[in-house]
Amino acid sequence: MRTTDWLIVGNGVVGATTACLLADAGFSVTLLDTQPRPLPTSEDWDLKTYSLTPASRRILRAIGVWSRLNPARVAPYDRMAVWEQGEEAGITFDAAANARPALGYMLEQSRLLGALHAALGARPSIERVAGTPAALESADDALELLTTDARRWRARAIAACDGGDSPLRVLAGIDCEILAYPQTAVVANVETALPHQATARQCFLPTGPLAFLPLPPANTCAIVWSTTPAEAADAVNADDASFCASLGRAFGHRLGAVLKTSPRLALPLVRRHARRYSEGRVVLVGDAAHGVHPLAGQGLNLGLLDAAVLAEQAAAAGHAGLVEPQALFRRYERQRRGEVLAMLSATDRLNRLFLYHSPWAGRLRRAGLRLTDRIDPLKRCLMAYAMGDVGDLPRLARP
């Protein structure tokens, strides 16, 4: 049986990116997923869209994925506004203030995966296979993964990129702290009476944040509405006209009336953090290692940084580093764990802060928002975080 350097389980955005980066670092890679992804078939925008930071863009550019995206399906935004429901004032961020062209980019999951799969196909050292992991067995200098169809895959290191429920994390015996938020996110694409002007907007309601994220054309937004599970179920089941009306009301009609909506999708929100990022020859990457609240749009951005750090550490250690990869995995975890924890607790706190309903909490929040909006260095610092420009960044992601 052939031994591959890296077996990657999960061909989502994080898995495919990890595969490209490791192949570019000179390793042989086998990429396993339960099913091949369907390519986009519709001109409508996906319900699953991502806001990606300039740091993520740099990683995707380095592996030749960004240039494969159709520019008409990438929506840069250069302003951001955040406020509390019922308040006129809030915080605004402007890319031009930092002499940057964009704060972030909206992309669809299917088109990003399409570009990633083209990039995988252009790398002969990556083999793509279908299968579902069933068991792990140690071999002398490698690890074997058995799939449910009784095939075996042998690798020096295995990267679990198989998402939040990560069956591989379970097979490797890695515990994960899991906390269900009392919120479900409703996602949809909507048309509004007023143009979005390339501005990402987020309003904090008593039940959670509601974001309108700009897509082309100028009157279309992707929305992420984190609310109670009951309200989310109503939003999904309501007829389009009543959903548009309640969405417009919740958003204080900042973009005028909501005129049209796509079907809605409800996604329960969960916070996850693996107690350790590796065990033996298995290492966790992306949502397999952590899951954050979507209010800052950072989950996938964290996963792409994981992929770039792991590949950078692996490249530095070379093939010798795979003889006993635990040292390499420890360096990866040291570089990533603190950054992930900081994002987990920042998003948690922000979410909880706006769920307090006492008058003093409201006054404190409003004062905080007004003050932050006036302190330029603080705003620049927050903006740099939101753009992925700070922290212990891998070389590929640095501005």
Task: Summarize as ranges the residues that interact with ligand FAD (CB under 6 A).
Answer: 9-15, 32-34, 50-51, 132-133, 161-163, 167, 185, 187, 224, 267, 286-287, 294, 297-301, 303
Smallest separation (angstroms) from ligand FAD to the CB of 31: 10
Q: Give 258 or 343: the residue with its C-beta nearer to ligand FAD.
A: 343
Q: Give 321 or 393: the residue with its C-beta nearer to ligand FAD.
A: 393
Smallest separation (angstroms) from ligand FAD to the CB of 384: 17
Q: Give 321 or 383: the residue with its C-beta nearer to ligand FAD.
A: 383
Q: Give 317 or 382: the residue with its C-beta nearer to ligand FAD.
A: 382
Q: Give 158 or 185: the residue with its C-beta nearer to ligand FAD.
A: 185
Q: Give 84 or 162: the residue with its C-beta nearer to ligand FAD.
A: 162
Per-residue exposure over 236-269, b if at least 16 CB sit within 10 Å of its own CB, e if not: bebeeeebbebbbebbeeebeebeebbebebbeb
First to last CA, the chain: 43
Q: Give 142 or 145: the residue with its C-beta nearer to ligand FAD.
A: 145
Smallest separation (angstroms) from ligand FAD to the CB of 298: 5
Smallest separation (angstroms) from ligand FAD to the CB of 201: 14
Smallest separation (angstroms) from ligand FAD to the CB of 373: 23
Smallest separation (angstroms) from ligand FAD to the CB of 37: 7
Smallest separation (angstroms) from ligand FAD to the CB of 16: 8
Contact 238, 227 (CB under 8 A): no
Q: Give 286 or 321: the residue with its C-beta nearer to ligand FAD.
A: 286
Q: Give 5 or 162: the residue with its C-beta nearer to ligand FAD.
A: 162
- How far is CA 214 from its chain centroid? 17
Question: Which residues, other chains included, contact 348 with Cβ-Cβ below 8 Å and sequence gap of 6+?
Answer: 271, 293
Nearest residue to ligand FAD by CB is 12
Smallest separation (angstroms) from ligand FAD to the CB of 323: 26
Smallest separation (angstroms) from ligand FAD to the CB of 132: 5
Cα–Cα distance list, 270 to 164, 301, 339 (Å): 9, 17, 19
Closest CA to 8 of 139, 116, 140: 116
